[in-house]
Structure 1
Amino acid sequence: MMKNTPYPQGVDTPITSSAIFMVATLSSGEEAAQAVRSWCADIAGLVRAVGKRVPDGNLSCVCGFSFNAWGILFGSTRPASLHTFREFGVEGRKAIATPGDILLHLRADRMDLCFELATQLLAPLGDAVQVVDEVHGFRNFDMRSMVGFVDGTENPVGNKAVEATIVGDEDPTFAGGSYVIVQKYLHDMNAWNRLTVEQQELVIGRKKLSDIELDDSVKPSNSHSALTVIEKDGKEVKILRDNMPFGRPGSNEFGTYFIGYARSPEPLEQMLENMFVGRPVGHYDRLLDFSKAVSGTLFFVPSSDFLEALGD
């Protein structure tokens, strides 16, 4: 990290029990753009105002912007690695790109805090944006995903989380920022639950109860854990995940909202390529036989300093 790096948004906020994910598109016209620019400077104050009511609620908000929105809102000088979401895979097993200009990732240990903050954030925007996707996530028992395995085991912590997620002197104009990819996955739980525990463990690459990684001698090379480990120049490259289960049992909807932060989109995209295309090609992630990606967008999360300066 460079010295005097601008203060980042709460990308590496500790994991909480509740979250709301909202993706919105920007309305056309300079009036809408100006409304969003002015709103950016007020985000931190709204988080403080709502969070003060429950001091131990751990309320936070991360706001990101897509490639297209950046040009409209902030001009042609963009973060060095920001681009539109890259699709991977083939029809029927594809990481698809879906519309989205603005991401809001709200976290707290109480859903009412997330709900109140979402309400207060959207109110001043009016029709300047349209929310195209909203997911209310919950923490599932002992940090388990919808398919019953512990999620986020390999997340970096402390200084390593900052190093993995926060842009430094590789792009000094946008230091303190972070890249984030979000995807919504829906699971065929009937098919998944027809597998034995041992079969599920081979798909994931970990023991279900203990969360211990399977030995390489028995772990399939196309297991989820094998394909989501990213290496560059012989070293593992970490990303920070804060995935959340969501669903509506009455509608037979069971899902996982994937959200991954990194200081470059490269490891995130390499992970998706490994999963959907395969390593080698065709040797894709077995979990995708039971899970389908129904959304996908890449955003850049600027520093808190960048957002607050927009109020001047």
Structure 2
Amino acid sequence: MAAPQPVPQLVLGPPTRAALFLTLTVAPGRETDVREGLGELSGLTRSVAFRARDDALACVAGLSSDAWDRLVGGPRPRDLHPFAPLQGPRHRAPATPGDLLLHLRARRADLCFELARIVLDRFGDAVTVVDEVHGFTYFDERDLLGFVDGSENPTGPDAARAVLVGDEDPAFGGGSYVVVQKYLHDLTAWNALSTEEQERVIGRRKADNVELPDDVKPADSHVALNTVEDEDGEERQIVRQNMPFGRLGTGEFGTYFIGYARTPDVTERMLRNMFLGDPPGTTDRILDFSTAVTGGLFFVPAAALLDDLPAPDTAPAAAAAEPSAPEAAPADAVLPGASLGIGSLKGAPAS
């Protein structure tokens, strides 16, 4: 009789109208406090969700490579490593500080806000919020560029196969890898384009979301560069839960890209295509209008593991180490795991 599969965190939860994305750093010496706080996340979420059972409140937590070493004992997830920045011929994907990612979502923004408030209260000064984004659904699942976002996500069993770690890393089955980037849009420049030219940038029609024919779709369009196949010609997929965000007073408009995958190589391959080009130099034209300002890679452990993370044997030594600043990668940087040569992400981060 096969052993039961670990229960994942709700990375494949139902669609929601609101989301709150928090990136946190952990204060040196406070690893034990944070590890214990992570163990209480599921209970805190249930306490708030109980007040509005039909509104699908969820909180998914992920740890960076550095945070895993500082907070957790025992083995590491097989493919966990720091987010590798990319410096292309024209555009850059930066790596920015972040030990923990909290992805809160619900059908109501007040639930996300209330849970985030309670969770941050629990962590106290053991963490610092280094990025906070409040996302919302924009009309019929469109981004602020006016295109439908997320239509290529797999569903049902296909989604689980694309997102959840399996027998390839049994100690971390039911986990997932998540890459996040905050993109800021130049809406003035974007809106100066005709609809037809916008469609050529994205690779889809704006009104009905239909992909342009291959003989019409430009090689530097967003869709063309983000359709990646394995050696057998099959597309590999991830699940995106992107959200638009904006601040009218400061003129900040953007898309928060968040992609879950069974291996980070899927998303990393897409990013190399976007920022370095495929072939080299043929970079994603969407980057002329959307600038990446953050970047992070996190591992989302299965629910039971998050509830009871093992403490490292060398906690005092690990606690004394300050997180190191990410170093810039050369333009031809090859990310860890690139040898797998797989990946697919149509229409991300904004399609």
Global fold match (TM > 0.5): yes
1:220 shift after superposition: 0.7
The change in CA–CA distance for 1:102 and 1:91 in structure 2 (over 3 A counts) is farther
Match of 2:243 in 1: 244
- Unaligned 5+ segments in structure 1 are none
Match of 1:22 in 2: 22
In 2, the alpha carbon distance for the partners of 1:311 and 1:173 equals 13
In 2, the alpha carbon distance for the partners of 1:3 and 1:260 equals 28
Match of 1:180 in 2: 178
AA aligned to 1:155 is N
1:285 shift after superposition: 0.5
Match of 1:263 in 2: 262
SS of 2:235's partner is strand
| 1:223 matches 2:229 | no
Aligned residue among 103, 120, 138 for 2:136: 138
Aligned residue among 141, 163, 167 for 1:169: 167
| 1:5 matches 2:5 | yes
In 1, the alpha carbon distance for the partners of 2:89 and 2:296 equals 18
- How many residue pairs were aligned? 309
Render the CA deviation track for 1:16-61: whole Å, top value 9, x for unaligned: 11000000001001xx111111112211111111011111111001
1:283 shift after superposition: 0.4
Equivalent pair of 1:38/1:311 in contact (CA under 8 Å) = no
1:3 shift after superposition: 4.5
**Given the two structures, how large is their TM-score scaled by the length of structure 1?**
0.97
1:310 shift after superposition: 3.7
The change in CA–CA distance for 1:243 and 1:104 in structure 2 (over 3 A counts) is same
In 1, the alpha carbon distance for the partners of 2:249 and 2:123 equals 32
Equivalent pair of 1:89/1:273 in contact (CA under 8 Å) = no
In 1, the alpha carbon distance for the partners of 2:310 and 2:28 equals 21
Aligned residue among 96, 107, 110 for 2:108: 110
Compute the RMSD of aligned alpha carbons: 1.4
Identity %: 55
AA aligned to 1:304 is A
Aligned residue among 78, 81, 91 for 2:79: 81
Match of 2:204 in 1: 206
In 1, the alpha carbon distance for the partners of 2:179 and 2:119 equals 21
AA aligned to 2:97 is P
In 2, the alpha carbon distance for the partners of 1:209 and 1:41 equals 45
SS of 1:282's partner is coil
1:73 shift after superposition: 0.3
Match of 2:190 in 1: 192
In 2, the alpha carbon distance for the partners of 1:122 and 1:252 equals 28
In 2, the alpha carbon distance for the partners of 1:143 and 1:19 equals 13
Pairing of 1:64-75 with structure 2 (within 5 A)? 64-75=62-73
AA aligned to 1:136 is H
The change in CA–CA distance for 1:311 and 1:46 in structure 2 (over 3 A counts) is farther
AA aligned to 1:272 is L
Match of 1:301 in 2: 300
Equivalent pair of 2:238/2:260 in contact (CA under 8 Å) = yes
Render the CA deviation track for 1:152-187: whole Å, top value 9, x for unaligned: 010011111110000011001111100000000001
- Unaligned 5+ segments in structure 2 are 312-351
Match of 2:339 in 1: none
Match of 1:57 in 2: 55
AA aligned to 2:251 is N
Q: Higher strand proportion, which one?
A: 1
In 1, the alpha carbon distance for the partners of 2:248 and 2:3 equals 49
1:89 shift after superposition: 3.0
In 2, the alpha carbon distance for the partners of 1:210 and 1:100 equals 37
1:221 shift after superposition: 1.5
AA aligned to 1:16 is T
* Off by >2 Å, runs of 4+ in structure 1: 89-92, 309-312
SS of 2:255's partner is strand
Render the CA deviation track for 1:253-282: whole Å, top value 9, x for unaligned: 111000000000001000000001111001
In 1, the alpha carbon distance for the partners of 2:310 and 2:266 equals 33
**Given the two structures, how large is their TM-score scaled by the length of structure 2?**
0.86
